[in-house]
Structure 1
Amino acid sequence: MENIVKKAEDFVSHLFETKLSTINFYHNIEHTKRVVERITQLAEWEGCSYGEQTTLKIVAWFHDTGFVEKDEGHEEVSARIAADFLKSNQIFNDEIELVKSLILVSRKNSIPNTKLEKITKDADCSHVASDYYFEVSNLLRQEFALKRHTTFTDLEWLEENKIFFEMQQFYTNAARLKWQPLKKLNEREIETKINKIKAKEEAKSNSKKIGRGVETMFRVTLKNHIELSAIADTKANILLSVNAIIISVALSNLVPKLDSVSNSFLVWPTLILMLFSVTSVVLSVLSTRPNISNVTVTKDMIKNKQTNILFFGNFHKMGLKDFEWGIDYLMENQDVLYNSLTKDLYYLGLVLERKYRLLRITYTVFMFGIVISALAFGISYYITMNP
């Protein structure tokens, strides 16, 4: 049986590729490969001989091949396909019967007795102790939905998973030792998800319905604040651009001429113009410069309505899990949610006030700067021309 495992792999891969339904999102070649990997690992832990390991690998490759014909009772079909394959490769009847019996032990309610049966059973259910459990569980959910024409809500599916975990058990010592703790973690995660969904549904059913008027008020007011902020930024950008042009022109055209004695009358007007332009640029930058909080938001601050995590400047120091918890807490506690929206409106208003105050000062400085500079140029020229 030296090359039989490789032949089994090639045979099953080709069989699934050509005959397995495309809606077998879970019972497919990827699941089979995972079981082969787990059964190999478990066989080594249990001290199986080379021959036993070879037998178990063949069982793992063929245990779900029956899905190419039917779902219910696929184990019997899998055993037949495996037997036909082994016969065609001149494998002894005793070995063929052993492979068939091991495949049949993967049936849902079967109880394993021998060491190889226990290894087979544990490997087939090893996904319950994996970090990809919820990913493959979702694939099984999709497969059931299409094949059985049955849809599950998130809560219904999680409760089905919980029942499966309660019924499933590991039979080998190695699986109990190495996989049981990981299974417990996934089981606890299922319970947490169930409780979270139930809490949300309960909060939703018990919460007061907020009228459209309140939602419209928040939506329109926040929109107005954001639009006003955008207008302020546009005004600041205009001032920045205009003053940048003035400074550029002054540096390229006026400053080089100041070396000449005949142009000495331009010194003070040019300095005045540059001073007011630079001041306008600085004030424009200050009006658009963002202000980010350095306070680290905690769960207690969220619960006590002391912060607003809807604004990125507040939550940027939070970890992802804490932020997800905070958003879930807002969704589950309507009073905290609306308190956060109120804070958002208030602090946006403070930011707008600061922007428009600085813009008003900037426009005033710019206006007086242009006027004073023009007068300075006129007066200097007049004095020079009329000594």
Structure 2
Amino acid sequence: MKEKLLLDVEIYVAELLNKQLASTNYYHNAIHTRNVVTSITELTNREQCTEQETLALLLAGWFHDTGYIYTDIGHEEESVKIARSYLKEQDVPEELLDQVEQLILATKTDLNPNNKLESIIKDADCGHIASDDYLDISENLLKEINAKNDHTLSDIEWMEQNIAFLKNHSFYSDSAKQIWQPKKELNVLEIQKKLHKLTAKENKKDKNTRFGRGVETMYRVQLKNHIELSAIADTKANILLSVNAIIISVALSNLIPKLDNPSNLFLVYPTLILMLFSVASVVLSVLSTRPKISNVAITKAMIKEKKTNILFFGNFHKMNLQDFEWGIDYLMDNEETLYNSLTKDLYYLGLVLNRKYKLLRITYTVFMFGIIISAAAFIYSYYINMPV
């Protein structure tokens, strides 16, 4: 009975949040709700809660943010209404309904818990501050706040608020203090480091003249030149392909049909030489224009550590849209990383050009010597087979 009720509640809440929750709820959404339920499960096991207590906590965890579909302020009261309405239809006892209501209301940020169960649900609701993904989760919360408020918080303001919150926050249950407090302290250090970097960058921005219009012009001109050189190389390769395709088609249609005549056997070797060099030129031309795409899966960590360039499609083609949008936003917010990506783009374009022009040089050499050797072979064959 308990398992079926929890499964039905999970399906109902997930569908409710996914269909009716505002698109601006980047943090208070179904993902956050599932994380809270997972944290409740972990804490109830450690706190040795009874089956009835665990059920009440899990039900409250599933419903505690459903009120966001109607309002942000006072969403707890709306969550209670939604929970009562649904759970009554499932014939949940009134005593359990009252307990669930009490636990949902206990998640209000300005209230302190009155008992063990309220301590557990409040700790679970803030369990993300001890998560390895805290910085990413925090960014989602900032995105939600900025989307819903007139005033937009800067990254520095948000980091300062995070530090103030984490330093004033304390876990209530013994289990949370034991298993989550150390990780929370590590996250505080990470945020302090990030704040220090952001502050240093902000202070440096007005003084730093390294990135300006001249630098942007340099990148623009150089990238344009490289692209034009690449187009020239492709054109040259296309010319060689066309010429050799004509030679091969002419040889196939005019020379080869005549070789089965005994009187034309002297043309076999010159024709084979011509065909061999033409085919080699075609293969080399194709190799010089054949595109190469990376198979490496790009991660956020690689972008932050400047180990990749997502401005090139060959690198970002395996990223999903959400991660790619995040990466572009990160580049726009971090000028140094942006220019580093442009530098990588310029460098790898140069490597591609180097490969193209090396192959083209080899191709033209093969084509040139092929024509010379083929012509000489034809002349020699005619000469030695001329009737005396």
TM-score under structure 1 length normalisation:
0.67
Q: 1:276 to 1:173 in 2, by over 3 A?
A: same
For residues 351 and 205 of structure 1, the distance between their equivalents in structure 2, rounded to whole angstroms, comes to 41
Q: CA deviation at 1:57?
A: 2.8
2:52 is aligned to 51
Correspondence 1:372 to 2:373: no
For residues 276 and 7 of structure 1, the distance between their equivalents in structure 2, rounded to whole angstroms, comes to 72
Q: CA deviation at 1:103?
A: 3.6
For residues 265 and 116 of structure 2, the distance between their equivalents in structure 1, rounded to whole angstroms, comes to 104
CA RMSD of aligned residues (A): 5.0
User: Per-residue CA shift, 1:98-137, capped at 9, x if unaligned?
Assistant: 5554444322233335222211211111122335544543
Amino acid at match of 1:229: S
Q: CA deviation at 1:47?
A: 0.5
For residues 81 and 259 of structure 1, the distance between their equivalents in structure 2, rounded to whole angstroms, comes to 90
2:170 is aligned to 169
Amino acid at match of 1:173: D
Q: CA deviation at 1:263?
A: 2.0
For residues 118 and 276 of structure 1, the distance between their equivalents in structure 2, rounded to whole angstroms, comes to 81
Q: CA deviation at 1:46?
A: 0.6
Q: For 1:190-201, list aligned pairs within 5 A.
A: 190-201=191-202
The aligned length equals: 357
1:301 is aligned to none
The answer as to whether partners of 1:39 and 1:123 remain within 8 angstroms in 2 is yes
The answer as to whether partners of 1:46 and 1:174 remain within 8 angstroms in 2 is yes
Unaligned runs of 5+ in 1: 292-307
For residues 287 and 21 of structure 2, the distance between their equivalents in structure 1, rounded to whole angstroms, comes to 65
State which drifts further: 34-43 or 245-254: 245-254
2:232 is aligned to 231
Unaligned runs of 5+ in 2: 293-306, 320-326
For residues 16 and 278 of structure 2, the distance between their equivalents in structure 1, rounded to whole angstroms, comes to 78
User: Per-residue CA shift, 1:306-331, capped at 9, x if unaligned?
Assistant: xx98799xxx9xxx9xxx9xx99x95
The answer as to whether partners of 2:229 and 2:353 remain within 8 angstroms in 1 is no
For residues 240 and 344 of structure 1, the distance between their equivalents in structure 2, rounded to whole angstroms, comes to 26
- Alignment identity in percent? 45
For residues 203 and 17 of structure 1, the distance between their equivalents in structure 2, rounded to whole angstroms, comes to 43
Q: 1:221 to 1:75 in 2, by over 3 A?
A: closer
The answer as to whether partners of 1:203 and 1:332 remain within 8 angstroms in 2 is no
1:123 is aligned to 124
For residues 113 and 138 of structure 2, the distance between their equivalents in structure 1, rounded to whole angstroms, comes to 24
State which drifts further: 169-178 or 371-380: 371-380
1:266 is aligned to 267
Amino acid at match of 1:205: D
1:207 is aligned to 208
Aligned partner of residue 169 in structure 1, secondary structure: coil
Q: 1:70 to 1:371 in 2, by over 3 A?
A: closer
TM-score under structure 2 length normalisation:
0.66
1:297 is aligned to none
